[in-house]
Amino acid sequence: MRKIISVALLIYVWQISCLAQAPSTAQPLSTNPALEAQVNTISNELRCLVCQNQTIADSNADLAIDLKNQIRTQLTQGRTQAEILDYMVQRYGDFVLYKPPLKASTWFLWLGPFAILLLAFFFLWRQIQVRKKLLGEQQFSQADLARATALLNNGAPNNIAQPKDRP
């Protein structure tokens, strides 16, 4: 037991020391604030391919950092935002866009969640219908019905539930 506690304490101390050494904010690679603003604008329109629920501006994944550096490089080469976005789409597909356009190849991205939801509602409705049918086919004896009534009424007459004794 002492070994487990000492190992857990060692891991805890190690994690605290790692957090203390981590930088609090990412430093921009360029000293030009206008360039960094453009990089952030474009980065907010691209999805992190590692995280998939964040833009590359919000992600700290290595691929996101590489993509931001690539955006920065292309901006310094004089490319426009549209050219950079087209380049990323050609390289990674429409999925790299945080808001992909609605076209034949992205229908599943836009309509897939709704189709899955409709399918789930259909299976739920079907399951309810099957259970209703099975319940309707069951025959209950008078003893079963009397027992159910007694349980529902807690033994009280005229369907009035009696309050429970409180300690």
Could you give the C-alpha distances from 54 to 37, 64, 91, 109, in angstroms and in order?
18, 10, 19, 16
CA-atom Rg of the chain in angstroms: 31
Instruction: Single out the residue of 85, 87, 49 nearest to residue 65, CA to CA.
Output: 49
Quickly count: other Cβ atoms within 10 Å of residue 115's Cβ: 11
Query: Which regions in the chain score pLDDT beneath 50?
Result: 22-25, 159
In this prediction, residue 3 carries a pLDDT of 78
- pLDDT by residue (tens digit) across 111-134? 888 999 999 999 999 999 999 888
**Residue spans of alpha helices (H) in 24-80:** 33-43, 62-76
In this prediction, residue 95 carries a pLDDT of 82
DSSP-derived secondary structure letter, 89: H
Q: For the packed helices 33-43 and 81-92, what is the interaxial angle rounded to 10 degrees?
A: 40
In this prediction, residue 30 carries a pLDDT of 59
**Is 40 within 8 Å of 57 (Cβ atoms)?**
yes
DSSP-derived secondary structure letter, 140: -
Residues facing residue 47 across a β-bridge: 55
* Domains located in the chain, CATH noted: 27-101 (1.10.8.640), 106-159 (no CATH)
| Chain centroid offset of residue 58 CA | 15
